Amino acid sequence: PAGAAWSIRPRLGRSPAAGAAEAVLIARGEIAALAAVDLAELGTKRIARFSGGMDALAAAGFAIAPRTLPPGEDIDFLHFVHDRHDGNLESSRRYLAWEQGLVAQLDPGERAAFAVAAPDPA
């Protein structure tokens, strides 16, 4: 719909909804609930959720314009392994290698937050 903006929680502070008089969230319940808390903390006055997703918006008569995000903005989509859920075993392997490589990027403080105690051998 006109005025719609895609965002993820870490970027809500830079979204048009931050501090706005009102915002309507189009997301699953738990995601919308978390985003609503964040937006309220950012000063958004009235926050509502539209249930049913994009299909429900179209059925309600809203014009839906497909929009692709510019490179670097679509950070929740991994282009290099896009077909890992479609049975491409090599893509699945590359995805797992990428996930495991994320651990190497953590600094010591970040690693400590995820420290798991070794089981007691006794």
State pLDDT tens for residues 23-46: 999 888 888 999 999 999 999 999
Domain boundaries, position 25: 9-59
Of all residues in the chain, the percent with pLDDT exceeding 70 is 86
Query: Where would I find the H helices in the chain?
Result: 29-41, 53-59, 89-104, 108-113
pTM: 0.58
The answer on 54 and 21 residing in a single domain is: yes
Asked if residue 121 belongs to a domain, the reply is no
Q: CA–CA distance from 92 to each of 26, 78, 89, 96, 101 (Å)?
A: 30, 12, 5, 6, 14
Task: Tell me if 72 is assigned to some domain.
Answer: no
